[in-house]
Amino acid sequence: MRTSHTHTPTRFCALCQKAIPTGSRRRRWCSATCASIGARLLHRGFRVERCRARRCSHFVVAPPSQRDRFACSRSHLQQLIREAARAAENRARRNEAAGVAATWTTDERLAVAAMTGATPSCVYCGHLLVVRADGFSGRGTPTKAQFGVDHIISLAAGGTHDARNWVPSCGRCNRSKREFSIADWIARDIAAGREPHARLVLGDLAAGSGAWRRDPQTGEIYLANRSALVRP
């Protein structure tokens, strides 16, 4: 008779990459020393999250200037790029089959960028965006991210391709959200042990005011007040 064994993935320290002993209650650090150093890095604005490659238990420790770093190694980064390319091709095929072309004119892009005021920013995380005069994204900088137009409800989930469903977002949030609803996207980040990208959304929900609201019956998150996207 074959006995099934449950495989427990090995966890690695986010700082020194040593394996965390089995049974330890620590989730990110292997020792008190690494935990102390890690706390100082987090205080300085460093980002600590799990590598997004499949079946990888390593962490990524990135300074504020490397906000688009989300893989622990070059091979895992190439793997994520290939998966993102395949996902984009699949979305394009589904949109073509549904007769929907997710394209925007220059005026539409500029109008979306202006939703957050004179200084374009991501409606999910709040990062400033680089927007050229033709409505397309400029090259990202350490303080500004690339600009993109996101569908609040993805086309694959039945969302419409019109101004009511468009918001400005940074490339990192756009890639992370993919075809998920906002509620599922946040829940997925939390389940993976990552800090949710949609910090502004969570802030509005906690305050009970602002642009975003949660439907008490369905639990879905929706944009309730577009004028509140212009933040001080």
Q: What is the mean pLDDT of residues 85-97?
A: 69
pLDDT digits (tens, 9 = 90+) for 103-116: 788 899 999 999 99
Q: Which residues contact 227 (CB under 8 A, 6 or more apart)?
A: none
Does 122 lie in the same domain as 49?
no
Q: How many residues does the chain have?
A: 232
Residue where a domain stops, chosen among 71, 95, 128? 71
Q: Residue 63's closest CA among 40, 84, 81, 80? A: 40
Does 44 lie in the same domain as 127?
no
Give ∠ CA 71-76-78 in degrees, rounded to 5: 105
In a domain, 83, yes or no: no
Does 198 lie in the same domain as 133?
yes
pLDDT digits (tens, 9 = 90+) for 157-190: 888 888 899 999 998 898 889 889 999 999 999 9
In a domain, 86, yes or no: no
Give the pLDDT score at 137: 81
Q: What is the mean pLDDT of residues 11-23?
A: 76
In a domain, 173, yes or no: yes
In a domain, 27, yes or no: yes
Does 144 lie in the same domain as 192?
yes
Give me the chain's average pLDDT, please.
82
Which range, 76-85, 93-102, 117-126, is most confident? 117-126
Q: What is the mean pLDDT of residues 78-89?
A: 77
Give the pLDDT score at 9: 56
Q: Report residue 92's pLDDT band, with 50, 70 and 90 as the boundaries.
A: low
In a domain, 130, yes or no: yes
Q: Please give the backbone phi and psi of residue 162, each rounded to the nearest 5 degrees, phi first.
A: -145, 175
In a domain, 165, yes or no: yes
Query: What is the domain extent for residue 5?
Result: 1-71
Does 61 lie in the same domain as 108?
no
More confident site: 13 or 126: 126
Give the pLDDT score at 125: 92
Domain count across the chain: 2
pLDDT digits (tens, 9 = 90+) for 202-215: 999 999 888 999 99
Residue 98 confidence (pLDDT) above 80? no
Residue 141 confidence (pLDDT) above 80? no
* pTM for the model: 0.63
Give the pLDDT score at 97: 63
